[in-house]
């Protein structure tokens, strides 16, 4: 199947959000079409098409991962800090041993003037991980 990378990335970002709306995203193994499933059994596709009744059939539809599935949470933060803010490594490890870690981490990034570097690092890592995931899943990416 062939899928535009931008479509996979958008579906990943929807799957990655947390808070008020929970969302799972799927790609059809045959057509490459992306489907969005929102919380509370309110099933809908992004363009308001109906979801297939068999969306849970893993032989037909592949669930698109989120950051946790791709190990892009705390391990990515630690790798970034080791490379760009090595003097803050112990502080960041401590920050991530408590609740509210990302908010505190963002505060540290702001104080160090490293927000843009973090966003660039995270975005490149996400793209690399998603492209690797697509390759493993035999999804042919078009740019």
pLDDT tens digits for range 87-134: 999 999 999 999 999 999 999 999 999 999 999 999 999 999 999 999
| Residue 24, both tokens | 């799972």
| Residue 97, both tokens | 């041993």
Greater pLDDT, 80 or 38: 80
Report the chain's C-alpha Rg in angstroms. Answer: 17
If you average pLDDT over every residue of the chain, what do you get? 89
Best CA proximity match to 127, nearest among 1, 8, 18: 8
Residue 18 has pLDDT above 80, yes or no: no
Tens of pLDDT, residue by residue over 54-83, are: 999 999 999 999 998 999 999 999 999 999
pTM of the model: 0.83
Domains of the chain, residue spans: 2-64, 74-128
| pLDDT attached to residue 5 | 96
């Amino acid at each position: 199947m062939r899928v535009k990378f931008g479509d996979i990335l958008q579906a990943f970002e929807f799957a990655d959000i947390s808070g008020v709306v929970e969302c799972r995203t799927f790609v059809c193994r045959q057509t490459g079409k992306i489907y969005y499933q929102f919380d509370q059994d309110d099933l809908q596709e992004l363009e308001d098409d109906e979801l297939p009744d068999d969306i849970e059939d893993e032989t037909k539809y592949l669930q698109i991962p989120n950051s946790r599935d791709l190990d892009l949470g705390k391990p990515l933060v630690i790798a970034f800090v080791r490379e760009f803010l090595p003097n803050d490594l112990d502080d960041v490890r401590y920050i991530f041993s408590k609740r509210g870690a990302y908010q505190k981490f963002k505060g540290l990034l702001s104080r160090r003037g490293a927000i843009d570097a973090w966003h660039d690092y995270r975005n490149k890592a996400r793209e690399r991980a998603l492209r690797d995931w697509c390759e493993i899943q035999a999804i042919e990416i078009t740019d």
